[in-house]
Structure 1
Amino acid sequence: MTVKVEAKPTGLWENIKVIAQALVLAMVIRTVLFQPFTIPSGSMMPTLLVGDYIFVNKFAYGFSKYSLPFSPDLFSGRIFSSEPKRGDIIVIRFPPNPEVDYIKRLVGLPGDRVQIIDGVLYLNAKPVPKVPDGTFNSDYAQDPGQNVPVFRETLDEGVSYETLDQSPVSRGDNTREFIVPEGHYFMMGDNRDNSLDSRFDVGFVPAENLVGRASLIFFSLGNDTSFREIWKWPTNMRWDRLFKRLD
């Protein structure tokens, strides 16, 4: 009688399967759940700093083609969609060039009338309260400097956040009235005098261009420190920003 012996998988094959499964899991998490982003500019100071590494919640507003790697044109609009809230910090695809990611704060919902008058944000003809809240010192070499005036804005929904106002006469301090069309949003950076946003080239952002809501700072390096410069981490780590929630 012949006994058939089933060959056992080799250790190498088992390792390959584990690696493949880990890669698939990582792709699913990145595509469907959370995606890491790095903050490359000062447009969201003081809320987000250059050198912050954040997780973006990609299922917060449902999914569009921009939720997928390489943005395949498989469908239009959003699926499993839910409405973003005024005050959310959102990663968007830059409407004139959707290959580029921007991160801004949502201030205008569909149907809202948005205007800046003498540096004050008006929503539907009502000024958003803006009160002095100290000064800000940057450890970023290019922007925005030292002792920059900070102002706290509070929306009707109760969302409160800090903004920077470096100059009372910048080109974005007085604008026309913008009426946000259906299916679009009006975005602004918290660093009001140094942000390309819906006041300028970004324009109204289609719902399809929302990538996800910024939810957590998981790592942060100051003084223009590259992630690769591990030897500089101990002295340039912003320890107080690690695992900071973004509400």
Structure 2
Amino acid sequence: MAEQEGVLHGIWETVKTIVYALLIAGVFRTLFFQPFWIPSGSMKDTLLIGDFLFVNKMAYGYSYASCPSIRIPALGIDIGADDFCGVFQGDKSDPDYQGGDRLWGSQPERGDVVVFRHPVTGRDFIKRLIGLPGDEIRIVDGHLFIDDTPVQVVDDGIFEEIFAPQGPQGLRPRCANGAVGMGAVCEKRRYIETLPNGVSHSILDIRDQSFDNTGVYTVPEGYYFFMGDNRDNSRDSRESQASGGVGFVPYEDLVGRADRVVFSSAGRSMLYFWTWRGDRFFKKIE
């Protein structure tokens, strides 16, 4: 009898330990840092498929979007931040809605690399903040204009990568040098873009496309305009939400700022340590 009680006590202690660990992890992820795995090439070459980073949730304060989401497609689990903390979410259908509120909120800066919730689907996206409230954004022949002023761009040569499946989804890169065979060098033109506040970062160009020339986007109060650094391979604020893009992103949908890559895997899993990219450990995101 005593032996049986000892076994039950051991099981109970194990369960308590697991519960406590999950609670601590949940609090840490909600308040401080959220892990993020780069699934696509929309932010190349700033961020590569397989980069693993932590998002600084303290950077802009807290909103409903700070709550964690749990998505495990294989098990049919799809719980978003609004399911956990929807009571704190603003009413986007309200005519007076202006991006929502945040607790201890601070404004993001132009050029920040930001993780945010898609305003419609609730999925996590990561892009670069280009337009602030009140800005007028336009693309002319592939060049970014902010308030009718062209952003400075300098040629920075060629970005090269191997044409092969990348990451868990096996995505293949798009190439500026045409259709290349598996294992061949895939090229894109690289430029250094300097935003009005002095933030410089690289962007990639593949070929002429429809979003190389756009109308004027006037960013509403309380909203932001985002673009991917891989300009010809990014669904972002240039495309409306109705068309599958991001559109303007409200303030309360920001999750946090991405500051540094922790490590990076070129393979299909972060567990394949032999595919880790040695030059990207703790790399600063610029």
Question: Deviations 1:136-156 (Å, cap 9, x if unpaired)?
Answer: 123453113422100000112
Question: Deviations 1:198-238 (Å, cap 9, x if unpaired)?
Answer: 1103111111111111122112111xx1226x4x422x211
| Whole-angstrom distance in 2 between the partners of 1:96 and 1:38 | 21
| Whole-angstrom distance in 1 between the partners of 2:129 and 2:206 | 21
| 2:123 paired with 1:110 | no
| Whole-angstrom distance in 1 between the partners of 2:118 and 2:148 | 27
Q: Would the aligned equivalents of 1:42 and 1:144 in 2 still touch at CA under 8 Å? A: no
| 2:178 paired with 1:178 | no
| 2:94 paired with 1:81 | no
| Whole-angstrom distance in 1 between the partners of 2:119 and 2:87 | 18
Deviation at 1:60, TM superposition (A): 0.9
Deviation at 1:105, TM superposition (A): 0.4
Match of 2:181 in 1: none
| Whole-angstrom distance in 1 between the partners of 2:140 and 2:187 | 24
Secondary structure of 1:172 counterpart: helix
| Whole-angstrom distance in 2 between the partners of 1:115 and 1:39 | 27
| Whole-angstrom distance in 2 between the partners of 1:24 and 1:95 | 28
Cα RMSD over matched residues?
Answer: 1.7
| Whole-angstrom distance in 2 between the partners of 1:115 and 1:121 | 6
Match of 1:155 in 2: 195
Match of 1:215 in 2: 259
Give the alignment partner of residue 90 of structure 1, picking from 100, 109, 114.
114
Question: Deviations 1:147-167 (Å, cap 9, x if unpaired)?
Answer: 210000011211110000111
| Whole-angstrom distance in 1 between the partners of 2:234 and 2:215 | 17
> What number of residue pairs does the alignment pair up?
231
Name structure 1 gaps, 5 residues minimum. 1-9
Match of 1:143 in 2: 173
| 2:241 paired with 1:227 | no
Match of 2:41 in 1: 42
Secondary structure of 1:22 counterpart: helix
| 2:152 paired with 1:129 | yes
Deviation at 1:18, TM superposition (A): 4.4
Secondary structure of 1:79 counterpart: coil
| Whole-angstrom distance in 1 between the partners of 2:120 and 2:20 | 37
Further displaced range: 152-161 or 11-20: 11-20
Question: Deviations 1:176-213 (Å, cap 9, x if unpaired)?
Answer: 01110000000000000111011103111111111111
| Whole-angstrom distance in 1 between the partners of 2:276 and 2:199 | 28
| Whole-angstrom distance in 1 between the partners of 2:173 and 2:57 | 29
Deviation at 1:66, TM superposition (A): 1.3
| Whole-angstrom distance in 2 between the partners of 1:211 and 1:21 | 25
Further displaced range: 236-245 or 18-27: 18-27
| Whole-angstrom distance in 1 between the partners of 2:188 and 2:41 | 13
Further displaced range: 61-70 or 13-22: 13-22
| Whole-angstrom distance in 1 between the partners of 2:194 and 2:29 | 33
Deviation at 1:21, TM superposition (A): 3.2
Q: Would the aligned equivalents of 1:53 and 1:218 in 2 still touch at CA under 8 Å? A: yes
Deviation at 1:17, TM superposition (A): 4.7
Amino acid at match of 1:180: V
Q: Would the aligned equivalents of 1:42 and 1:191 in 2 still touch at CA under 8 Å? A: yes
| Whole-angstrom distance in 2 between the partners of 1:67 and 1:152 | 32
| Whole-angstrom distance in 2 between the partners of 1:159 and 1:83 | 16
